[in-house]
Structures are given as structure tokens and as C-alpha cells.
Amino acid sequence: MVFPCPTGDRFDPVPLSRTGTLWSFTIQRYRPKSPPYTGPAAFHPWAMGYVELPGEVIVEARITNVEFGAIHIGMPLELTLIPLDPDAAEPVLIHAFQPLGQPIGASA
């Protein structure tokens, strides 16, 4: 199983729940080495977590729209899309999870 599902004939998409529970997390506080990291030139720490989709699978994704100190195991989350590099002229969107019920476009 691959999340998110790549395009092409090699994988069959499976519908997954858009909500889940935070299973584990960490804060990425330093810029990963390049290569392979090709993210934005200006580095900003981010939260990364494993989110359990009930009865389905545990997926890895960024945790967004929440202060680092407010993140806790068991918090309810929902799927959203965020720009990989918010400063890019044509941002690439990636999957992330935010606190359940968070207004769209809100940032912490």
C-alpha cells in the first residue's frame, strides 16, 4: 500500500477515511540534508505524524494548522492539502492532516 496513491497502472486506488487519530509524531526542527531534500530554500520546522485511519491503515503525513505544543497522541485529525513551499510561484500541494474541525486555510 502506498499513500498517497501514485498515478499510473501499477496501483489500484482504495478509498480511505478522511479522518483519523494521531498515533505518533515528531517535530522536524532541522533542514534535512540535500540531496535528497529539495524543499524550500527557507527552512521552517514542521510536524510529522502517523495518523491511524480507523480500521484501515496508519499513514505518514505532515500535521498542520496547530501549534507544536498542542499536538498530542490521540488527537482527532482530518485530511487537508497544503503547499510544499508556500513561497513558490506555482505551489505543489501535498497531503497533510489538521485538527478535526479546523477552518480551511487557518494557520497556527
Average pLDDT over residues 48-74: 95
Q: When comparing pLDDT for 85 and 60, which is higher?
A: 60
- DSSP secondary structure string for all residues of 31-59: PPPTTT----SS---EEEEEEEETTTEEE
The Cα 49–Cα 74 span in angstroms is 11
| C-beta of residue 106 within 8 angstroms of C-beta of residue 74 | no
| CA-to-CA separations, 67 to 12, 37, 52, in angstroms, rounded | 36, 24, 20
Q: When comparing pLDDT for 1 and 60, which is higher?
A: 60
Residue 104: band (very low, low, confident or very high) from pLDDT cuts 50, 70, 90: low
- The amino acid that residue 95 corresponds to is H
Does 98 score more than 70 pLDDT?
yes
Does 5 score more than 80 pLDDT?
no
Parallel/antiparallel/unpaired status of strands 57-63 and 76-83: unpaired
Predicted local confidence at residue 1, as pLDDT: 62
Nearest to 63, CA basis, from 30, 100, 92, 31: 100
Predicted local confidence at residue 92, as pLDDT: 85
